[in-house]
Structure 1
Amino acid sequence: MEIQLKERMLPVPLQGGFRMKDFWVWCGSVAKGEDGRYHMFASRWPKAFPMHPGWLLVSEVVRAVSDTPEGPYRWAGTVLPARGPQYWDGRMTHNPHITRQGDKWVLYYTGSTHPFADLTLGEDLRPEDPRVIVARANKRVGIAVADHITGPWKRFPAPVLPVRPGHGDNMLTSNPAPCVEPDGSVLLLYKSRAYKQPPYSGLLHGAMKLHTARALRYDGPYTERSEEALFDRDVELEDPFLWRDGAMYRMIAKDMHGNVCGEKYGGVYAWSEDGDHWQLVRGEQAYSRRILWEDGRTELMGNMERPFLLFEEGKPICLFFAVSNGTDSFRDATDTWNMAVPLRYTADRQDLQ
């Protein structure tokens, strides 16, 4: 792959990225605003609740600001707070992905709701809780729009990607990954799950799959949606990041089992000529969960999710991840944050290759 992200990744700044005391932080997406500063859209939820499945019920999208791509980023306000269970995104917002489309800032995100009582601080929340089950099944992809990167943000009464009964995305849609085309149309990758067939033994949902959708403009309708999942049954990917490289589409994503790139939760490459049919690069890592800090230490992150590339002048200058400490995914995590990894060239650095 020409982009060679793994070889371009520089040591991680100790004070970079975005953290918040007393909050789980996730899902970093960054753009350079009209003010020349870097604005990160992220999700957060209180550490008074478990990291998982707390995010399904109380996550909210926030904005943080830095003078440099690497950070540190400082909290600047809540962007998409809870707004009542009667709204499709009234209880939770998550997975922000910021884009510039014409004269508008368009923020893609996942939202959900449920009709049950609010959580109480310190409550022992478990995956089998009815609020969790319903909130997961109600996940949908939507957008918010603003004239300025600082807002105010206009939300819509319905998601842009509802579920489709009788299709492979009949349970939920989430994890939006948009690519804005030169003509203003949008190719959107998203994650889906389907209800298992009767007798619904064990978990009610099947494996996560990736699908595509297209729209002539950001607010839809997203009518051209793939019938089949993008990859074979043995491939389970999450958190795609999508971009156009000339006539080619490229993707990086999280390898859930490690059977594509060789490392569980490591990064995979894929490419496509049309955005609908994708070729995986097997046996090659886009990135590893083992990172190098600027003080020379190496560390295996418990999670390394939601990859996001920041481009300037057509070149990727910084790679962002949602990361956790611990060694066993979210199960033993005590802290999460959005990590910023500078790449070997930026607008003010020479390409060192």
Structure 2
Amino acid sequence: MTIQTKSLYDRLKPAPKNGGFRMEGYWVWCGSVIKGEDGRFHMFASRWPKHLPMHPGWLVHSEVVRAVSDTPEGPYAFEEIVLPARGAEYWDGRSTHNPHITKHGDTYVLYYMGSTNPLADVLPGEEFGLTDPRCIVARANKRIGIATSTSVFGPWERRDAPILPTRPGHFDSFLTSNPAPCIHEDGSVMLIYKARQYEGNVHGNMMIGAARADHYDGPYHVASEDPVFPPAKFHLEDPFIWHTGERYELIAKDMDGHICGELHAGIQAHSMDGLTWHVSNNPKAYSRKIRWDDGTETVMGSFERPFILFQDGKPTHLFAATADGAGGFTKATHTWNMVVPIATE
């Protein structure tokens, strides 16, 4: 891979209006795509039923699914549940979310966030929100794990423990989530992730950490005692990283819009070691304002969880979880995973 001289934002092409992946009766989020051994494109995504609120319903009833398309643009058709609920006794037994699919050698490696809780299911018609005990417990139990398979069709081997647990007394004492892995040719991994810490009995703000492993199976070790983006200056979520052959590149959601100039749009940064990051000269990576292939434009209510598909070492498509509405999860009536082609320089 080579370092691009044009910013990602400047290379985004019109998005296909009928592309991506959506499901009737479900909230859909977190699209991550890989070309399978069958030559088709497989999207690993999160879904949860619409009898729950979009947020925070995913914390208790999300499941990772797989959809397929003959082209990267889609539309993608649902094929199967990949990581279903498997019981409260498992660390990921009640919710699987944040899928990120990648491959090393002959093995597909699926990073994801899992959570569990010992409480009752949320039933249709039942009120559910951030102060519900089921939400509070599920949020505190968020951890990062992996599942592996030698086929994109599975079966998937899930681990009985997360790869990145929390650490008391550190910036990731409350939760770990939103895994953004970069697996190198030798099988070693640089993993950027989202964390929160305990502040009394509640959680603090989002922070971005880094961990390393000599092999994707672990063990993983946190690589910096401090967040790699100082929280006093950066308020980021949804990282995605890759290595160009010369350095790491990262895109992430700008929670306040102070860096890229637009609320909840994306920033781009780079690093030689994955620990010390520098914002790019052209920091804007993507916008919530989308140009469609029919010539129209829409400011999306959400545009999050960015994922870039690379083909032959080049970025070809940007995927993102998106929502309609005026902005914010509570105003959305539909969510889906959309795709934006990326022009070559």
Q: TM-score range by the shorter chain?
A: over 0.9
Partner residue, 2:81: 78
Q: Note if 1:31 corresponds to 2:34.
A: yes
Out of 68, 71, 94, the residue aligned to residue 71 of structure 2 is: 68
How many residues end up aligned between the 2 structures? 341
Deviation at 1:328, TM superposition (A): 2.0
User: Out of 97, 101, 107, which is 1:98 matched to?
Assistant: 101
Deviations 1:263-318 (A, max 9, x none): 11010011001111111237731111100011111100111101000001111111
**2:254–2:263 contact (8 Å) kept in structure 1:** yes
* Gap regions ≥5 residues in structure 1: 346-352
Instruction: Give percent identity, aligned residues only.
Output: 58
Q: Distance in 2 between matches of 1:3 and 1:180?
A: 25
Query: In the alignment, what sits opposite 2:151?
Result: 148
The answer for the alignment partner of 2:290 in structure 1 is: 291
Q: How far apart are 1:3 and its partner, in Å?
A: 4.8
Quote how far apart the aligned CAs of 1:124 are: 1.4
Q: Please list the CA deviations of residues 196-220 of structure 1 after superposition, one character each: whole Å capped at 9, or x if unmatched.
A: 14xx5xxx11110000000011110
| Equivalence for 1:350 | none
CA positional deviation for 1:84 = 0.5
Aligned-partner Cα distance in 2 for 1:51–1:18 = 17
Give 1:257's aligned residue: 256
Structure 2 SS opposite 1:223: strand
CA deviations on 1:87-107 (whole Å, 9 max, x unpaired) are 000000000000101221110
Paired AA for residue 4 in structure 1: S
Residue in 1 aligned with 2:225?
Answer: 227
Normalised TM-score (structure 2) = 0.97
After the TM superposition, which of the residue ranges 219-228 and 151-160 deviates more from structure 2? 219-228
User: The residue matched to 2:165 in structure 1 has which SS?
Assistant: coil
Distance 2:243 2:191 in 1: 12
Secondary structure at the counterpart of residue 286 of structure 1: strand
Cα deviations by residue, 1:51-107 (Å, 9 ceiling, x for unpaired): 001010100000000000000000010000000000000000000000101221110
- Match of 1:349? none
Say yes or no: does 1:322 pair with 2:325: no
SS of residue paired to 1:331:
helix
* Other-structure match for 1:125: 128
* Offset, 1:122: 2.3
Counterpart check, 1:218 vs 2:221: no
2:209 counterpart SS class: strand
2:14 is matched with 11
**Distance of 1:158 and 1:242 partners within structure 2:** 24
The residue type equivalent to 1:255 in the other structure is D
Kindly indicate whether the alpha-carbon contact (under 8 Å) linking 2:32 and 2:43 is maintained by their aligned counterparts in 1: yes
Q: Report the Cα distance in structure 1 between the residues aligned to 2:143 and 2:5, rounded to whole angstroms.
A: 34
Whether the aligned pair in 1 keeps the contact of 2:7 and 2:284 (CA below 8 Å) is: no
**Counterpart of 2:280?**
281
Asked whether the equivalents of residues 188 and 215 of structure 2 are also in contact (C-alpha less than 8 Å), the reply is yes
CA contact (8 A) 1:255 1:268 kept: yes
AA aligned opposite 1:180: I
1:107-118 equivalences under 5 Å are 107-118=110-121
- Matching residue of 1:348: none
CA RMSD of aligned residues (A): 1.1
One-letter amino acid of the counterpart of residue 261, structure 1: C
CA distance in 2, matches of 1:127, 1:224: 29
Q: Which runs of 4+ in 1 moved over 4 A?
A: none
Secondary structure, aligned partner of 1:126: coil
Asked if the contact 1:260/1:283 (under 8 Å) is kept, the reply is no
Equivalence for 1:238: 237
More displaced stretch, 180-189 vs 56-65: 180-189
Counterpart amino acid of 1:278? W
